[in-house]
Amino acid sequence: MATHALRPAAPTYSRGRLYEWLTTTDHKKIGIMYVINSFVFFLIGGILALVVRTELAQPGLQFLSDESVYNQIFTMHATLMIFMFVIPMLAGLGNYAVPLMIGAPDMAFPRINALSLWMLPLAGILLVASFFTGGSAAAGWTSYPPLSLDGPLKSPGTGQDLWIVGLILIGTSSILGGINFLVTIFKMRAPGMTLFRMPIMVWTVLVTSVLVVMATPVITSALVMLFIDRNYGGRFFDPFGGGSAVLYQNIFWFYSHPAVYVMILPAMGVISEVLPVFSRKPLFGFKAFIFATAGIGALGFSVWAHHMFTTGSVFLPFFSLMTFLIAVPTGVKMFNWVFTLFRGQLTFSTPLIFAIGFLTMFLIGGINGAFSASVPVDFALHDTYWVVAHIHYVLFGGSVFGIFAGLYYWFPKMSGRMLDEGLGKIQFVLMFIGFNLTFFPMQMLGLAGMPRRIADYAADAGWNDWNMAATIGGFLIAASILPFIWNVFVSLRNGKIAGDDPWEGNTLEWATSSPPPPYNFDHLPEIRSERPVFDARHGRGAH
Amino acid sequence: MSADSHALAPADHSPISGLAHDIRGGISNPILGMLLFIASEIMFFAGLFAAYFSTRANFVDANGVKEWPPSEFADILNPFSLILVATVILILSSVTLQMALWAIRRDDRTGFLRNMAFTFILGITFLLLQAYDYSLLFQEGLTMGSGPFGTTYFTLTGFHGAHVFGGVIMLGVVLYRGMSGQFSSRHHDAVEAASLYWHFVDVVWIVLFTILYFL
């Protein structure tokens, strides 16, 4: 393909590489910076998680000075992991992959794309800076009032306000990014790329963007009301002043439940790209998968109150039923994936191994989620470690394994070099064992009645062994990140040269060079199916 | 690569050959972007309105009386006052903006600029009237801190005002660009997008005015 490349005749400007990256509007560079920024906050959030696990290893307060510090640590762990790692990391992968996959030269609004990116480090700095202003937010990542109000239970002043401002910034970045994705997907597709020929990754980003555009502004409204209550004497959420604390929960979860799908759908998209490529088969039930994705997105708006069963002010049968219904499209996807692997010609490269990690762990997370949808079970398990286990099986076992599958899959495209397979497999083994060692005990702890968000527990409660196991697992997860960092570091210099299409991929990003030129494509293959590069390789696209 | 022989591109020597994107009519990118942005803004106001109705439905004053507005602010929000003038001005600004849009669609730049300037001034007038109205309410003792009634009133109208402020800036940019001759009947996406936003802000005010002052 390179034979057709036109050598640019325009003079090259000698701009510094740093300046080039800081001012770029190229979606690929922006996507990579999203990934790097998210990874930095993943490390910070991970260190906070280690602090939490160290404190909980044994009963008693050994590591931290007092409980209020513990509250800050777990609040910031969840906040950074959700808002500064998983959501932007997937947005970054989408930013890199979507225009390439639909054969577009860039996103629809490149400068707004850069704006979305640069809001994120700013928000992250605000969040982390709150540790140095007399304590960060400490009311949990949900920041329920009255915990988050200035009252008897107050969360330290400035930290909670910085948290609110940081989250509004991240939300604005998400909304602008979502609009950008939608316009790009609807308007910038290459000729022949009909909606039903779009790769699944693009479909999941499309549905995710609808969720982001429609749900994120709702949490923005909750956050501004919280800000008004805290700073301008407002009375929205203060039960003593005529407000309602449950109102906040309703508005908060109206966003934060769809946000769960914002965090999982693109990861599902990633593994739906990886599984067909490494099993040498098309995705089983391509259209069913698309409708299942849209179904999850639509149902996602009607289940928010399942987080609030125990408040006694929501209609339990409705929200329980809708929550169970979500298991149906999710089950459809499970079948899609399993039957894609079934009788496939499997190549156990690192991306596939992480994708299988996703399948198995997400299955556990999905099933224990369905248990929690049952009202009587939820009444027993609400606010126990069971919930912590569930969210981590879905968001770590699902999203994070999916993210690593995506990073190993697209790293050759981004850098032009392969990551080392051996180190990748070491990472997977460490991470998989560490993950289960951490979060399986949490299910047992939840069933044994251990509440979440506590810094200390009674020594005779029978929780000691499971907690110690979870702490060891936590450090194993941390250890699994080291081979990855080393792998990236080494491979960028000495990695095997990838070539255009190292995996024999299906989708358009593999039809251009690695890394692609700023304008993405010298030349596109004919698009006759959802696998144009496969068609071109095997002559199916011939006239 | 076998892909080469299947290229759509009629002229393979061009770096962008075969990359003509979906520009076969339909909605333009900036306008689609603005519509999606407005959709998200609707959801933002939906959150605030939900909070308003929920607060109002649950409101009980200090004496246990269920009354909205609370007795001490019984007649404070009179629709037939300054606020009606402000409302008429905002609706009028939507009309002049639409006339500006129609003018630029038929390449009437003078009419476009004249109506655009009217709209800009009407927008600023609305903001000034609202600020003055706030000062009157403050004098009568209604503030953000005076219970759920004050909180919801100032939050809803305040965020609407902030959106009008944003819209006025948008109109100012469009006016400035129009004065330097950047728009024509073929090229005026910015005008279309700004007018969509302004009409949206106007509609929000009509809903707000009805709910806060009449309902």
For A308-342, write each residue's pLDDT tens digit: 999 988 999 999 999 999 999 999 999 999 999 99
Examine residue B2 and state whether it is found in any structural domain, yes or no: no
State both tokens at A155. Answer: 């969360």
* Residue B17: pLDDT over 50: no
**What is the share, in percent, of chain A residues with pLDDT greater than 90?**
84
Put simply, the answer to whether B44 touches A217 (Cβ < 8 Å) is yes
> How far are the Cα atoms of A175, A356, A404 from residue A411, in angstroms, in the given order?
27, 19, 10
Examine residue B150 and state whether it is found in any structural domain, yes or no: yes
Longest dimension (CA), chain B: 84
The mean pLDDT of B93-121, rounded to a whole number, is 96
pLDDT at A541: 52
Nearest to B43 among A6, A217, A225 (CB): A217
The count of domains in chain B is 1
CB-based contact B85:B194 (threshold 8 Å):
no
Which positions 7-66 of B are in contact with A (Cβ < 8 Å)? 7-9, 12-22, 26-27, 29, 32-33, 36-37, 39-41, 43-48, 50-51, 54-55, 58-61
Task: Please give the single-letter amino acid code of residue B43.
Answer: M
pLDDT at A540: 63
A214 in contact with chain B, both atoms CB, cutoff 8 A? yes
Q: How far apart are CA A359 and CA A399, in angstroms?
A: 11
Sign of the C-alpha dihedral computed for residues A513, A503, A432 and A442 taken in this order? positive
Cβ-proximal residues to A416 (8 Å cutoff; 6+ apart), any chain: A497, A498, A514, A515
The model's pLDDT over B29-60, given as tens digits with 9 standing for 90+, comes to 999 999 999 999 999 999 999 999 999 998 88
CB-based contact A522:A5 (threshold 8 Å):
yes
* Residue B7: pLDDT over 50: no
CB contacts of B58 in chain A (<8 Å) are 242, 244
B145 in contact with chain A, both atoms CB, cutoff 8 A? yes
The mean-pLDDT minimum among A33-42, A263-272, A285-294, A522-531 falls in: A522-531
Nearest to B58 among A175, A228, A244 (CB): A244
CB-based contact A381:A369 (threshold 8 Å):
no
CB-based contact A372:A308 (threshold 8 Å):
no
Put simply, the answer to whether B6 touches A214 (Cβ < 8 Å) is no
Q: How far apart are CA A361 and CA A116, in angstroms?
A: 31
Examine residue B19 and state whether it is found in any structural domain, yes or no: no
Put simply, the answer to whether B51 touches A221 (Cβ < 8 Å) is yes
The mean pLDDT of B174-186, rounded to a whole number, is 94
CB-based contact A172:A122 (threshold 8 Å):
no
Nearest to A213 among B16, B36, B48 (CB): B36
pLDDT at A34: 97
Distance spanning both ends of chain B, measured CA to CA: 70
- The three-state secondary structure class of A477 is helix
Put simply, the answer to whether A189 touches B55 (Cβ < 8 Å) is no
* Residue B3: pLDDT over 60: no
* Residue B12: pLDDT over 90: no
Nearest chain A CA: its distance from B111 CA (Å): 31
* Residue B134: pLDDT over 90: yes
Q: How far apart are CA A202 and CA A214, in angstroms?
A: 18
Examine residue B12 and state whether it is found in any structural domain, yes or no: no
Computed over every residue of chain A, the mean pLDDT equals 93
Q: Could you tell me the residue range of the domain that residue B92 belongs to?
A: 30-214
Domains of chain A: 24-537 (1.20.210.10)
The mean pLDDT of A391-399, rounded to a whole number, is 96
A151 or B105, which is more confident?
A: B105
* Residue A343: pLDDT over 90: yes
pLDDT at A273: 96
pLDDT tier for residue A533 given thresholds of 50, 70 and 90: very high
Q: What is the pTM of this model?
A: 0.92
The mean pLDDT of A362-381, rounded to a whole number, is 92
CB-based contact A1:B4 (threshold 8 Å):
yes
* Residue A151: pLDDT over 70: no
> How far are the Cα atoms of A186, B33, B44 from residue A30, in angstroms, in the given order?
21, 20, 27
CATH of the domain at B95: 1.20.120.80
CB-based contact A511:A533 (threshold 8 Å):
yes
* Residue B4: pLDDT over 60: no
Q: Least CA distance to A108: which residue of chain B?
A: B29
Rounded to 10°, the helix A316-341/A245-279 angle is 10
Nearest chain B CA: its distance from A297 CA (Å): 16
The mean-pLDDT minimum among A28-37, A364-373, B87-96 falls in: A364-373
Strand partners, A136: A159
* Residue A371: pLDDT over 70: yes
Q: How far apart are CA A187 and CA A222, in angstroms?
A: 32
Q: How far apart are CA A10 and CA B47, in angstroms?
A: 51
B72 in contact with chain A, both atoms CB, cutoff 8 A? no
Examine residue B25 and state whether it is found in any structural domain, yes or no: no
* Residue A543: pLDDT over 50: no
pLDDT at B38: 97
Nearest to A109 among B14, B33, B144 (CB): B33
pLDDT tier for residue A13 given thresholds of 50, 70 and 90: low
The mean pLDDT of A208-216, rounded to a whole number, is 97
The mean pLDDT of A202-224, rounded to a whole number, is 97
Put simply, the answer to whether A6 touches B145 (Cβ < 8 Å) is no
Cα-based torsion angle of the residue sequence A513, B10, B22, B15 in order, rounded to the nearest 10 degrees: 40
Examine residue B64 and state whether it is found in any structural domain, yes or no: yes
Task: Give me Rg for the CA atoms of chain B.
Answer: 23
Q: Least CA distance to B23: which residue of chain A?
A: A187
H/E stretch holding A128:
helix A110-129
A103 in contact with chain B, both atoms CB, cutoff 8 A? yes
Mutate to test the interface with B, among A1, A3, A4, A193 (most CBs of B within 10 A): A4
> How far are the Cα atoms of A81, A130, A221, A226 from residue A164, in angstroms, in the given order?
16, 11, 11, 8
